[in-house]
Amino acid sequence: MASSASLLLLLVAASHVCCCHGQGGDNGAVAAIYSLGDSITDTGNLAKEAPPGAFETIKHLPYGVTFGRPTGRCSDGLLMIDFLAQDMGLPFLNPYLAKNMSFAHGVNFAVAGATAMDLADQFNGSFSMPFTSNSLKLQLRWFKDSMKSTYATHAGNSSISFPLITPQCTLCFQQSGILILYVKSVCAVIRKRLQSSLVLVGEIGGNDYNFAFYANKSVSEVEKMIPAVVQTIINATKEVLDMGASRVIVPGNFPIGCLPSYLTAMAAPEPSAYDSTACLKDLNLFAAKHNTQLQQAVAGLQASYPDAAIAYADYFNSFLSLLKGAPALGFDSNSTHKACCGAGGRYNYDLRLMCGVEGTAVCADPSAYVSWDGIHMTQAAYKAMSRLIYHGRYLQPQILNFPEKNGQT
């Protein structure tokens, strides 16, 4: 057993070995994708985690109807992350909470309903979450645990368990008698893996605002949350970069004033409340403020981590581009603001009758609709968004190289 003094010296030395920083985004192929986020990206974690009866609808048809079966995705079929994986020549990402499934090409840690901030910090215990309490902090812990358990084994010893310690030294291990050489070996394996991988930190933060709006907070009140939400996302991105990630994408928020859920819940009698795309001006202005602060913070990361390739994914303007070009992209111009699956009304959305429950119906052709259930998009819309972002001008800067013959979704 090492003395406390020698163990302290060991940990100090290990801290210099294991604070893994990105060593530059090479232009080679992406070997794996690691994703953190919410329902825009979740490929089944909430469905695995939620107890029977909780968010039951996404576990059953019509969710997944275009794919052929329900998968836990909040859509009729595939998501942007699925099309991105396809274009990278990789399999679909399995959810972290799945059992006996391969994580050889990456892991999806995203959970539908997840927030960026911990709810206790955000609402001070005054607001009760309806179905999940996952946050970015929890997903980061899953990410670290996954890397540790996988690559400690690859480094040559699967029998030692190393709890992670401080965020400043994410991959240091506190274990009496551990050899510095072994710690260095584990770090090197993880760093090498992340340097050939792509990490998505988001989209996340949207639910922080959604739950505040659902708690009847005004736009001006919710705006006060933006700096804290953005900083939480940036702090998480820093941790990922310090682990050794060299290619990172941080997506912004959607123009939420265009979503059937908000168009229904916050409908205004004055035509002046709507813009030229028939979306609610104040809500889109709010989302734009979040995105402006996030973009500025991402620019700060790019300056602080010059050897890493860090990009902002512009979900806001790519979505507006999709709306404006809907007919040319194959969508019904009369249904761009309506949910495919819903219960009637101007936008075919009713909070009391969510898609999949008795009393709702599904449109004949989901591919003609942008919105699937009033909150989430259809497979066709996600495919169009993926093309606009990852193959278009809405990834800033463009940090992805697609394998030959896999360059189009």
Distances (CA, A) of 226 to 123, 155, 230, 271: 14, 41, 6, 28
* Bridge pairing between strands 32-36 and 106-108: parallel
Q: Are 62 and 343 in contact (CB under 8 A)?
A: no
Q: Nearest 5 degrees, angle CA 169-CA 171-CA 177?
A: 105
> What CA–CA distance (Å, rounded) separates 260 from 245?
37
User: Would you say the C-alpha torsion 196, 38, 42, 85 has a positive or negative sign?
Assistant: negative
Strand 361-362 to strand 106-108: parallel, antiparallel, or no bridges (unpaired)?
unpaired
Please give the pLDDT value at position 187: 72
pLDDT value of position 150: 80
Q: What is the rounded CA–CA span in Å between residue 12 and residue 68?
A: 53
Output the furthest CA–CA distance in the chain (Å, rounded). 75
Catalytic residue ranges: 39, 373, 376
CATH number attached to the domain at 31-129+195-396:
3.40.50.1110
Reading phi first (left if > 0) and then psi (alpha if -120 to 50, else beta), residue 64 is in left
Q: Give residue 157's pLDDT.
A: 45
Backbone angles phi, psi at 95, to 5 degrees: -70, 145
- Note the pLDDT of residue 55: 76
Residue ranges for the chain with pLDDT beneath 50: 1-26, 125-130, 155-179, 409
Distances (CA, A) of 398 to 43, 44, 114, 313: 25, 28, 27, 9
Query: What residues does each domain of the chain span?
Result: 31-129+195-396
pLDDT of residue 191: 85
Place of tokens 């920083």: 21
Annotate 229-286 with three-state secondary structure: HHHHHHHHHHHHHHCCCCEEEEECCCCHHHCHHHHHHCCCCCHHHECCCCCEHHHHHH
Instruction: Determine the Cα–Cα distance for residues 400 and 90; give it in Å rounded to an integer.
Output: 14
CA distance 143 to 139: 6
Residue where the block lists tokens 């090498």: 192
Q: Among candidates 366, 375, 381, 354, which has minimal Cα distance to 261?
A: 375
Tens digits of residue pLDDT in 361-381: 999 999 999 999 999 999 999
What pLDDT digit, counting tens, does each position of 1-26 carry? 444 444 443 443 344 334 444 444 44
Q: Which of 171, 175, 173 is nearest to 191 (CA)?
A: 171
74-123 pLDDT, tens digit each: 999 999 999 999 999 999 999 999 988 999 999 999 999 999 998 766 65
Decide: 247 and 399 in contact? Cβ < 8 Å: yes
